[in-house]
A = this chain, B = another copy of it.
Amino acid sequence: MNGSMPKYQQVARQLGDKLRLGVLTEGDKLPSVRMLSQELGVSINTVQQAYYCLEAEGLVEARPQSGYYARTLIDRMDTVPHRSEPQAMAHQTSLSDQESVLRRRVRQQQEPGWLPLSLGVPAPELLPVKKLSKALQQAQRELPHGGIEYEQMTGNQALRRQIARYALFWGSQLTDEEIITTEGCTAALTLCLKTVTRPGDTVAVESPVYFGILQTILSLGLKVLELPTDPLTGVDLDVLERHLQVGQVQACLLVPSFSNPLGCCMPATHKQRLVRLMERYQIPLIEDDLYGDLHFAPDRPLPCKAFDRQGLVLWCGSFSKTLAPGYRVGWVAPGRYYEALFQIKRYQGGFSPGLTQQAVANFLANDRYELHLRRLRQRLKGNCQRYQQTIRTYFPEGTRISEPQGGFTLWVEVDARINTLALADQLAVYKISILPGSVFSLQPQYGNCMRLSYGMPFNERVAWGLQTIGQLIHQQLAV
């Protein structure tokens, strides 16, 4: 795969690794473009492009007349949202308050004329609509009797093969026999939870955490333990370990790469340590890798599954955020839980049609998926920067904005006096929909936070929307 990666990306990755691993830290000056070009035997242009990449990732900053410097963690910590500090207690609260909020937002964002900053998917114009339609028609021709017959219960085989092939990027040795397709990622997570927990068990999650995950866990009669989470590096593993030590956690459900809403990515070393913890305490890790393909750095981050030696990681993914939300095609590689999980799936229904699965398989069978992802990532990364910039322009000073390393959501923390639940209601007058922070936790927190999606291409209307939010906040602070 490296062979086909442009030179500048290879250079960016090499430097990025050094920065991420701490070989270069806190304010170190990086080699000049000319020096590095000689050292590596690549063109000046290549090095320059690599530095642009790193700058976009927030890893380096250009200082005029001086060159590139490693951005200090402290620099970044001043501007990103605070590390979360949820209570160290498992919760099983009802979600009824959050739900009425969510229902209203979901209803609104579907109505015409609304600016759906609460959106949970990339906008359709970023997705390969026509090519997928063709892939579906091809599937009709390929499947026996036009696809009206039952698909295999473990899922369409062509698709399972493609998923296995696709997993090679992290050195996976998974075969199609170890993969089960599901109708989207929530269905995969539900199956995993049913397989590895019993009602009353506690599941550890990030905090803030996607409300859908909270709803799924609670609806199965389970408790939620929210972990302190760093907006750049993910959950605090020391805290998790303390909970594991006292037997307080029966399963982890994490989004290690670009969690929703924070967009943070656990460094590979953290992921490895996480899996070792799972091994020590023999606890299953349900890895929601739904956003892993939407990375802004040159390389796709490794999933935790890459470090799994004992089959304790249930690796879940989906094409809902990268190809076609409506096709309902996801998967799980459940490791040692394969048999138990498959049995539940078999007995409780929930099979997606063979046609949509085969269509996705067709799309993956050549390089179309990789090409599409490259374009999608570029556009999302561009969106992200423009949204961030606009927020910085219009929101009051002191606003903290997440620095997602992938995905399509921003987490914005504003002055503690602002109640984003009320703000969301006020914004409804302008037909702007946002998600208030309070729905991302079972605890009373994040009341001054909001999730803004940058899944829509940036345009004047988006700018107006962000400006309007900023103005309302300014007004409230002035009272």
Contact = CB atoms under 8 A, between A and B. Distances in A.
B350 A187 contact: yes
A255 to B, nearest CB: 16
B121 A344 contact: no
- What is the copy number of this chain in the assembly? 2
A48 interface: no
A316 to B, nearest CB: 11
A168 interface: no
A300 interface: no
A212 B347 CA distance: 7
7 smallest beta-carbon distances between A and B, as pairs: A187-B349, A186-B349, A148-B324, A219-B347, A124-B145, A215-B347, A190-B348
Given A121-B150, A148-B324, 17 more contacts: A129-B145, A132-B148, A133-B140, A143-B326, A148-B326, A149-B326, A183-B183, A183-B349, A187-B349, A187-B350, A188-B349, A219-B343, A219-B344, A220-B348, A326-B353, A352-B352, A352-B353
Interface string A126-137: 010110110011
A27 interface: no
A136 B140 contact: yes
A183 B325 contact: no
A147 interface: yes
A136 B350 contact: no
A143 B346 CA distance: 30
A52 interface: no
Given A148-B326, A184-B349, A186-B349, A136 B355 contact: yes
Contacts of A344: 219
Interface residues of A, number: 54
A218 B347 CA distance: 9
A202 interface: no
Contact of A326 (B147, B186, B189, B199): B147
A183 B345 CA distance: 12
Contact of A150 (B185, B325, B355): B325
A189 to B, nearest CB: 7
14 contacts: A127-B148, A133-B147, A136-B355, A183-B349, A186-B347, A186-B349, A215-B347, A216-B349, A218-B347, A219-B348, A220-B348, A327-B353, A328-B351, A352-B353
A182 interface: yes
Say whether chain A's binding surface is mostly helix, strand, loop, or mixed: helix
B146 A129 contact: yes
A132 B145 CA distance: 10
A438 to B, nearest CB: 18
Contacts of A199: 199
A260 interface: no
A314 interface: no
Given A199-B199, A355-B326, A347 B216 contact: yes
Q: Which of A183, A352, A353 has the most CB of B within 10 A?
A: A353
A129 B151 CA distance: 15
A354 B356 CA distance: 11
B356 A353 contact: yes
A320 to B, nearest CB: 8
A275 interface: no
A15 to B, nearest CB: 37
A115 interface: no
A411 B272 CA distance: 56
B215 A346 contact: yes
A323 interface: yes
Contact of A355 (B148, B190, B323, B356): B356
Nearest to A188: B349
B136 A348 contact: no
A64 interface: no
A124 B148 contact: yes
Interface in A108-128: 121, 124, 127
Interface in A137-179: 137, 140, 143-151
A353 B350 contact: no
Contacts of A349: 182-190, 216, 350
Contacts of A347: 186, 190, 212, 215-216, 218-219
